[in-house]
Structure 1
Amino acid sequence: MNMKVIFLAYRQWSLNVFPAIVKHPKVSECVLCKTHEELLALDLSKYDLLITCGWSQELGEEVTGKIEAIGVHCAELDRYSYGTPIQLQIIDGITRSKHRIFSFTYDKSSARAHTHNRLYSHEVDLDYSGNMEDILEQLTVTSKVLFIRYLDDYPEIEWKQWPAEDIVRPARRPADSILSKEDVARMDTEQLYNFFRCLEDPYPNGAIEDDKGTLYIQKVMYKKK
């Protein structure tokens, strides 16, 4: 089988997945796009599959109406389908989760349609311990595993329903990354560790702010008693 694939990514951890797609024996051609504009410049009807990796923007009907599209989502619970899933899970104290392939083909009449996470196929375990560089390295490896398994099985893909929840964790805003001294006083050391480690580079760093200025925390280390 000769597949023509588009790979859409822009973060470095996700770009590191690209060579594994290029080398897959079913893939005869693989085009890398780093922006939505580059994607729209292609004749999508000439390709078999769009693979997105670490992509947080909406694709829109102008894309999903022309090509089968998949992505990866790094959360098991549906409450984290609304944005910033890594940060929210770590802040909530989650250390074990799932990395899943999801389909951008969804029922537009569903109230959950905008999450795009109604159907998933392949999944692997995900560990949220360690610093952000450790977590992003793991996302690279697990994304390779997931996409390789998907391509191995394609086109015989078994889709499963993503379990829905009534709980919603809205995406974090930039202002949520700044703590006051009063906020710090209310948090224990493990909560502070989780807060600052999920905002290490390449994300905008967490900070503590008072009337004198703003202290940015680029990297943290924690030892449990």
Structure 2
Amino acid sequence: MKVIFLAYRDWALAVYPTVKKHPKVSECILVKTTAMLKQLDLNAYDLIVSCGWSEELGEDVTSKIEAIGVHCAELDRYSYGTPIQLQIIEGITRTKHRIFSFTYDRNSSRAHTHNRLYSHEVDLDYSGNMEDILEQLTVTSKVLFNRYLDDYPDIIWKQWPTEVIVRPKRKPEDSVLSKEDFIQMDTEQLYNFFRCLEDPYPNGCIEDEKGVLYIQKVMYKKK
């Protein structure tokens, strides 16, 4: 198989060697930007593997080549962006990491349909600091892509359970807490808020009339 591996985040780049050395992969090219992807002759490859890729591939790509990715949420409500932050802030500590298909359902009224079908899944734990979570994403992505390639082309796709609930993608300005917001949150809520925004994400901060206090790393102990 000839594979295009899409990644630019550090945790995702660490997955690339695993895919490249899989026994079924004869060639694996690393692509870090959409511009690089557009320069390739997609007909010369068999599969796109995306890892931590935040952009939609678009039908001009998916109509020419099979494409898969990984998504770190069990519920469809977190399919619209920033799934790690949204789940942690809502108190979720256990979820799923899944292989999904960039398959477009032309009969769907949804703008985002990339998580409608999934194949392989593993458990994912959202406890700890962001460095712990990103390390898990690396390890579980290696497991998922290995399992997918082991089974390819005999992949069994399942329907991703849909919901009417939608969690909109967080914006950088959502990382700012006012003093009023701060005093309304308990210590566990504050811990979840700040830990999900540790590097490499826009750090959580508290702002008042004097300035902005950035929280780069947190630790929490239950009573």
TM-score range relative to shorter protein: over 0.9
Residue number among 166, 169, 173 corresponding to 1:168 in the alignment = 166
* 1:65-144 map, 5 Å: 65-112=63-110, 114-144=112-142
CA contact (8 A) 2:104 2:113 kept: no
Q: Hey, what does 1:207 align to over in structure 2?
A: 205
- The TM-score with structure 2 as length reference comes to 0.99
Q: CA deviation at 1:10?
A: 0.3
1:40-55 to 2 correspondence within 5 Å?
Answer: 40-55=38-53
Aligned pairs for 1:20-59 (under 5 A) are: 20-59=18-57
Question: Once the 2 structures are TM-superposed, how far is the Cα of residue 115 of structure 1 from its aligned partner?
Answer: 3.6
1:208 and 1:215 in contact (8 A); partners too:
yes
* Equivalent residues of 1:7, 1:50 under 8 A apart: yes
CA drift of 1:173 comes to 1.1
Q: Which residue of 2 aligns with 1:195?
A: 193
Aligned residues: 223
Instruction: Name stretches of at least 5 consecutive residues in structure 1 with no aligned partner.
Output: none
Aligned-pair Cα RMSD in Å: 0.7
Q: State how far apart, in whole Å, the 2-side matches of 1:112 and 1:71 are.
A: 19
Please say if residues 112 and 118 of structure 1, whose CA atoms lie closer than 8 Å, have aligned partners that are also in contact: no
Which residue is equivalent to 2:179? 181
Supply the AA of the counterpart residue of 1:5.
V
Contact 1:82 1:115 in 2 (8 A): no
User: Which residue is equivalent to 1:157?
Assistant: 155
Deviating 4+ runs (over 3 angstroms): none
Tell me the distance in 2 between the aligned counterparts of 1:76 and 1:144.
Answer: 18
The TM-score normalised by the length of structure 1 is 0.98
Distance 1:93 1:33 in 2: 34
Distance in 2 of aligned mates of 1:148 and 1:10? 20
Instruction: Give, in whole Å, the separation in 2 of the partners of 1:175 and 1:40.
Output: 31
Q: State which drifts further: 106-115 or 179-188.
A: 106-115
CA shift digits 1:5-45 (9 cap, x unpaired)? 00000000000000000110000000000000101111000
The answer (yes or no) to whether the contact 1:107–1:113 under 8 Å persists in 2 is: no
The yes-or-no answer on 1:11 pairing with 2:9 is: yes
Task: Verify the 8 A CA contact 1:178 1:209 in the aligned structure 2.
Answer: yes
| Structure 2 counterpart of 1:180, one-letter code | S
| Matched letter for residue 100 of structure 1 | R
1:113 Cα deviation after fit: 5.1
**CA shift digits 1:169-210 (9 cap, x unpaired):** 101111111001111100000000000000000001000000
Post-superposition CA distance 1:133-157 (Å, at most 9, x none): 0000000000000000000000000
- Name the % identity: 81
Q: 1:113 to 1:159 in 2, by over 3 A?
A: farther
Deviation of residue 108 (structure 1)? Answer: 2.0
Q: CA deviation at 1:61?
A: 1.5
Q: Runs of 5+ in structure 2 lacking a partner?
A: none
